[in-house]
Structure 1
């Protein structure tokens, strides 16, 4: 197991290095840079911009240097000082922009994941145990619908229903009076009153997929010889079900733990934009549009790092939960 972890960590470092280089290269592909974009926007508005200021910006951020020099400067600042650079558009440190919104993204991601687990597990088990029953058909129908309907469409439908029939704006996570207020008990209650809708929309496809996976895994386990043998020995059905097949079918729940870490930063970008959620997703989208290279690069680098780490944690959790996987690692 130790050798497996060592190999995975080494591979993770190589992967992150490749991702960082590729990311920095891709965000620099569009013609021009942030300074050129800033100049073009000023000219489109009929404004004049100081050329000396533009030259200072290019020198400050190394935009007049070769790609390797820009990348080396960026990475050295991250590794040595934890400095992700300055956001051109916001004139703020990238780290402060990202971490200011991570809290809400974290809370939304954790709440959605718990919702998916709480709904998908009992429905998936029931659907497998009562295969081809009316309940199984209903769960299957809603599972296919949940996987087929785009999340942004669900968000638009809920927003229309809220405005058309209830006269309420269902977007955002806070009411107007609490948007800029300091945190207090009233603001927490207001957040909870708005949180159910994004959790429902974001968790719809994940719940549907997890139901189908749990059902398929449990059906596969229920027809294996050890289950038939245990049942023949007179083991009570509920004890047989919970002790062996259900445990083996829980692998999808551990494999999805790795989704949580990148979800802290991504914040379901499209849904966040549609519902006007103050998470990190819209910030990333705006940075891409404005060619804010350090902000975009930092986002993608953090997302890649969290994705790799989350995948490693999921694999370790699976190895701990499922002895078959653990023995396979130890044997390798």
Structure 2
């Protein structure tokens, strides 16, 4: 397992370099930057702008700028935000916990419900229950996450059941410990529900297809001919479904992070999504790069967890990877 983990981490290095370099290049090729916006301010002299460019190294070639940024990023020194006048690492540290709170919660819920619903639909293929589960899947796969978030906002505004926006209520500090937990959970409900519904809809189709494929395989026909009980078939079906389901977890993490960014913006959740949007709109170079860098690392860690789970479930995977 250690060798498998080593090779996976080794493969992550070119991924990080490739993603960050392309992102840096695209940002630099875009017309203008944050300092150009200062030219519109008559109180800022051209000499001050030139001084700032030299201070931040923006007058140097793009490759040299990127290499200096990458050297600092390896040590998690992500530079200084032009817009917020604060270290990028501190700004991300304030928001990353909120984003992880959404993504981890929705990931656990969506994977649980997707496996359960997909497995039931596969075992009951063609039944009314299977048709209802497929209807649920098709419906929420067709709805974009931001549009579903808008619908839930409208529903919440009409009913007043759940709060919209923010992570805490104004009277949060006056609540008891249990009250604080309940308050945060109530604020989490809408964004987590949005991400969970969208993610579950896609995942359960894979589980259902895997179960149906297994049940129609020659092995199952032989087991049924020998009079094997339904519980034995379910046990073997679970083992066969786990491999493709675990493989897809890595891709779903990417979808959750991108979906979380949109949901955070729509529902006014103070996470990395809204921070990155403001950074892009203001062309805050180092804040954008810092957010992309941390986001890439989160994706790599998520995919690594999926790979380790798959290698643990099926030892043939790690043996094949080590030989490669």
TM-score (norm 2): 0.89
Question: Residue 38 of structure 1 corresponds to which residue in structure 2?
Answer: 38
- The C-alpha deviation readout for 1:159-186, integer Å capped at 9, x for no partner, is 12222344875333322333x8899543
8 Å contact kept, 1:116–1:207: yes
Deviation at residue 77 of structure 1 after TM alignment: 1.9
Q: Which moved more, 1:103-112 or 1:282-291?
A: 103-112
Please report how far the alpha carbon of residue 297 of structure 1 lies from its aligned counterpart in structure 2 after TM superposition. 0.9
Q: What stretches of structure 1 of length at least 5 have no aligned partner?
A: none
Query: What is the Cα-based RMSD across aligned positions, in Å?
Result: 2.7
Partner of residue 49 from structure 1, selected from 38, 44, 50: 44
* Number of residue pairs aligned between Structure 1 and Structure 2: 324
Q: Say if 2:134 is the partner of 1:140.
A: yes
Unaligned 5+ runs, structure 2: none
Pairing partner for 2:66 from 46, 64, 71: 71
Greater shift, 180-189 or 314-323, is seen at 180-189
Matched, 1:289 2:281: yes
> In the alignment, does 2:263 pair up with 1:271?
yes
CA distance in 2, matches of 1:176, 1:39: 39
Aligned to 1:209: 202
Give the equivalent residue in structure 2 for 1:26: 26
Report deviation, 1:103.
Answer: 1.3
1:219 offset after TM fit, Å? 0.6
Deviation at 1:298, TM superposition (A): 1.5
- Bigger Cα displacement from structure 2, 248-257 vs 219-228: 248-257
Match of 1:313 among 294, 298, 305: 305
Following the alignment from structure 2 to structure 1, what is the Cα–Cα distance between the partners of residues 176 and 61?
46
Q: Tell me the distance in 2 between the aligned counterparts of 1:37 and 1:193.
A: 40
SS at match of 1:250: helix
Corresponding position of 1:232: 225
User: Contact conserved, 1:109 with 1:267, CA < 8 A, in 2?
Assistant: no
Contact 1:142 1:208 in 2 (8 A): yes
Per-residue displacement from partner, 1:258-310 (whole Å, max 9, x unpaired)?
Answer: 36876897671111111000111100111111111111111112222332343
The Cα offsets for residues 190-235 of structure 1, whole Å up to 9 and x where unpaired, read as: 0012222211111112101111110001111111222222333333
**2:54 is the alignment partner of 1:59:** yes
Distance in 2 (alpha carbons) for counterparts of 1:106 and 1:201:
15
**Contact preservation (8 Å) 1:151, 1:201:** yes
Task: State the TM-score, normalized to the length of structure 1.
Answer: 0.87
Report which stretch shifted further, 59-68 or 2-11. 2-11
CA shift in 2, pair 1:167/1:82, >3 Å: closer
